[in-house]
Amino acid sequence: MGRTLFWRVCAAMTLLVLPVNGQKIESYLNDMKEALVPYGTMTARSCHAVEIDLTTVIQVGTYLLPERPNVEVTDESQRWAVVKVDVLRIYVDLADLDEDKVYKLALFSGEYVNKHQKGTPFAADTQAVMLNTHGLNSNLTVHAVDLDKVHALRGKTDITEDQMGLFIDMRKGAIITFSDQQHADAFQKAIQKAIVLCKAQ
């Protein structure tokens, strides 16, 4: 009799735990959505079917990343790595992402570097979160654009995705840019937690 009661209690506890995990994932997905505003929108039927739609064309472009980000930089010593951000839309199963490879990046726009006053400290004007998949066979599906075509269209309005040279690509990683640290931090924390819980499902 005692053994039967034990198994009933275990079964009841399992039923109680499952909805709690579901609520946590839903909470982190909502945190991701909130962090993307006003830079993009997100829809998610579940953590295994997430679409991130970056709503502003301003976010795509060529950025610069210091080759030695932890060293104090002067105009004479700085060397830059070029980072191309060309993604408008991301489709991903969060379980395919590596939570330990969700990186924050401090990027510099070309406009910032061109206008930078010599002898003054460099301060990144663009924050970014980089997503990476794990394993050999996991990929993100992205809708990306031709940056040369986007550059040629600067100043024009009512630009279509076809004019920007939209194409579909399978990639191991993608970068989402933000104008401020607060939104980037919130997005990074929420997606890392969501990835962990999604893998446990």
pLDDT averages per 10-residue partition of the chain, 201 residues? 52 44 82 94 95 82 81 67 94 97 92 84 89 92 94 85 94 93 96 96 84
What's the sign of the alpha-carbon dihedral 191, 197, 200, 201?
negative
Residue 9, pLDDT score: 46
Q: What angle do CA 125, 174, 64 make, to 5 degrees?
A: 35
pTM of the prediction?
A: 0.82
Contact 130, 175 (CB under 8 A): yes
Residue 18, pLDDT score: 42
Residue 120, pLDDT score: 80
Instruction: Read off the tokens for 94.
Output: 């969060």
Residue 117, pLDDT score: 84
